[in-house]
Amino acid sequence: MSAPTTDTTRTAQPAGSSRAGMREHRLPKWAPAAVVGAALVVAVLLTLPFGAPVAGVAVLTAILAVGGIWLASRIVEGSRKATDRLVTALVTVAFLIAMVPLVSVVWTVVANGAARLDVQFFTHSMFRVVGEGGGALHALWGTVIVTGLATLISVPIGLLTAIYLVEYGRGRLARWITFLVDVMTGIPSIVAGLFIVAVFALLFRPGLQLGLMGGLALSVLMIPVVVRSCEEMLKLVPNELREASYALGVPKWRTIIKVVLRTAVGGIATGITLAVARVTGETAPLLLTVGLTAGLNFNPLEGKMATLPVYAYYQYTAPGVPPEFAIERAWTAVLLLIALVMGLNLLARVISRVFAPKAR
């Protein structure tokens, strides 16, 4: 912030000239840092009688620093600048507050989960493991298979719905679909799980738990997200490109495939990747529909399947005796899950960069 420093004042024309009114007093560049430092010292001193608790010091420092910067700026730079500084300081504080839970979660998970982040964790399932050892290979595979199924189901349905809404949909039907998609976005995930459980209980038998059911439950959650993001991306394609294509005698369906989708492919792929990341961590519907097993199960059409969130949940709630080994595994599974979601987010960024239209 505040790129021009005191140099500006020095190089400006001498006082008395007509430009004198343009000159202004400025706080030096290091002033905000100095104020924060001073605020920290004062906060520590003030809270020392109470043992200087970290949270107390942080809150007090923030208040003192915001007030101090405003006051200093008010005295030196005048009221307009002071307001600017005040708002900048408040925004910075808000950002730091928002970062606290994120950093805290990542820190805790890494600290607790790193212990079991070993080869065995990736090469072993929990088959015939009691107490020490074991891994999450089966849960990792389960998550990949279930979310893969969900993606396979949701992407065609979601993308085609979005194409219908943007390119063809007019009138009442399109409005109803948009409305229902909005409603679907708000469905609690446990309801999606119960819905699939109920459907399978009616069609086959009660108490069934399959990988496929998990994929279907997740796709109930994923479809509205895919529709929404694809719809937004398709709407971003300028109408001029569609017209340019029509004017070349290209039929509408070819225009959609080769011009509209080709132009929007980066955004669509990004949206889908983020939707996948969004459902990867779902626990409640998988708890109901997929259950948990100790061993590897690659068949989504038969038997229960382990998934990372459910695995972590059970390792934590039913750790057995002694509990510490299971709890360590739970942390590592959560760490893996976070890494997976973060990886998908990074992938989304890469995809959008690769497909972005280039100017040169």
Q: In angstroms, how far is the first alpha carbon of the chain from the final one?
A: 32
Residues 138/297, Cβ–Cβ less than 8 Å: yes
Helix (H, G, I), strand (E, B) or coil at 345: helix
Q: Which is nearer to other proteins, 128 or 358 (CB)?
A: 358
Using the rule CB under 8 A, give the single segment among 125-133, 202-210, 226-234, 254-262 that binds other proteins: 254-262
CB of 174 to other proteins, least distance (A): 11
- With respect to other proteins, which residue has the nearer C-beta, 260 or 279? 260
The reply to whether 132 sits near other proteins by the rule CB under 8 A is: no
SS3 313: helix
Residue carrying the six token digits 């979005």: 162
Q: What share of the chain is helix, strand, coil (3-state, %, to 5)?
A: 75, 0, 25
Answer for the pair 187, 217: CB distance below 8 angstroms, yes or no: no
Q: 265, 353 in Cβ contact below 8 A? A: no
CB 161 within 8 A of CB 177: yes
Q: How far is the CB of 359 from other proteins (least distance, A)?
A: 5
Please tell me whether residue 7 binds other proteins under the rule CB under 8 A.
no
Q: Which is nearer to other proteins, 86 or 174 (CB)?
A: 174
- Is residue 360 a contact point for other proteins (CB under 8 A)? yes
Q: Nearer to other proteins by C-beta: 131 or 251?
A: 251
Per CB under 8 A, does 358 bind other proteins? yes
Q: Would you give the distance in Å from CA 292 to the centre of its chain?
A: 26
| Distance of closest approach, residue 272 Cβ to other proteins, in angstroms | 18
**Tally of residues, the chain:** 360
What the block records as the tokens of 42 is: 């004062």
**Minimum distance of other proteins from residue 265's CB (angstroms):** 8
**Amino acid in position 333:** A
Closest contact distance (angstroms) between CB of 249 and other proteins is: 3
Q: Which tokens belong to 128? A: 């015939």
Pull the structure tokens for residue 124: 């072993």
301: DSSP letter = T
Q: How far apart are CB 163 and other proteins at their closest, in Å?
A: 16
Joined together, the tokens standing for residue 134 give: 């074991």
The one among 154, 189, 219, 263 contacting other proteins by CB under 8 A: 263
Residues that bind other proteins (rule: CB under 8 A) add up to a total of 24
CB of 205 or CB of 360, closer to other proteins: 360
User: Exactly one of 262, 278, 323, 341 binds other proteins (CB under 8 A); which one?
Assistant: 262
Between 233 and 252, how does the x/- string for binding to other proteins read (CB under 8 A)?
A: -----x-xxxxxxxxxxxx-
116: which DSSP letter? G
Q: Does 254 bind other proteins (CB under 8 A)?
A: yes
Closest C-alpha among 328, 327, 307, 332 to residue 140 = 307
253 counts as binding other proteins under rule CB under 8 A: no
| Nearer CB in complex with other proteins: 208/265 | 265
Check binding of 10 to other proteins (CB under 8 A): no
Nearer to other proteins, 29 or 258 (CB): 258
Among 10, 128, 170, 172, contact with other proteins (rule: CB under 8 A) = 170
Phi-psi region of 295 (alpha: psi -120 to 50; beta: other; left: phi over 0): beta
The Cα–Cα gap between 143 and 276 comes to 11
Shortest approach of other proteins to residue 241 CB, angstroms? Answer: 6
CB 317 within 8 A of CB 345: no
Q: Give me the residues that bind other proteins (CB under 8 A), please.
A: 170, 238, 240-251, 254-255, 258-259, 262-263, 357-360
